[in-house]
Amino acid sequence: MTASTEKCSCEVLEEELLATLDDQLEAYKGMPGGLIPALHVAQGLFGYIPRSAIRHVSEVLDIPMSEVYGVVSFYHFFTTQPRGKHTVSVCLGTACYVRGGKRVLEAFKQKLGIDVGATTPDGQFTLEVARCFGACGLAPAVRVDEDVHRRVKPTKIGAILEQYAEEITEPEEAAV
């Protein structure tokens, strides 16, 4: 193969994911209300909904691309940006806000080096804001993936993140 005809592994992976998506979209062809479940399938495969998947869903389900994109951009549970391995959601509902949720959010932003809606460069964490986890009596609350942490203080966020961060192993030095 020449350099101009070789495909990078990301293109091959995307083609494989689109082929898998294609198989699963068959169930939603012509189905009223099938677009949202089809988009859930796409997001489940890719971890987000890239433009190529929006185009593919549009073509396979015979729905205008603008309509597919409109649904993706309207519902908050769909994302067109790659997400981190772990999602950190800081509650800013009334009880959490009053008890220091904003300070907790600022501490996470500083510690992770990202703003709300962004993902750390290493792909480990995505930072979000939420409105209520049902832990108002133990506010402020933070959810990491499915785990809710209660009475979170800005000084404790490092310990929370350590529970989820992948260990980075140092390369072993060559034996002398």
Is 174 a residue whose pLDDT tops 50?
A: no
Phi-psi region of 33 (alpha: psi -120 to 50; beta: other; left: phi over 0): left
pLDDT more than 90, % of the chain: 62
Backbone angles phi, psi at 128, to 5 degrees: -135, 165
Distance, CA of 63 to CA of 46 (rounded, Å): 20
Q: Peptide bond preceding 50: is omega within 30 degrees of 0, i.e. cis?
A: no
32-64: per-residue pLDDT in tens? 899 999 999 999 888 889 999 999 999 999 999
Mean pLDDT of 7-29: 77
Q: Could you tell me if 120 and 113 are in contact, meaning their C-beta atoms sit under 8 angstroms apart?
A: yes
Phi and psi (nearest 5°) for 64? Answer: -55, 140
What are the distances in angstroms from CA 57 to CA 5, 11, 116, 150? Answer: 27, 18, 29, 40
**pLDDT digits over 85-114, tens only?**
999 999 999 999 999 999 999 999 999 999
Q: For 129-165, how does the pLDDT look when each residue is reduced to its tens digit (9 = 90+)?
A: 999 989 999 999 999 999 999 999 999 999 999 999 8
Q: What is the pTM of this model?
A: 0.67
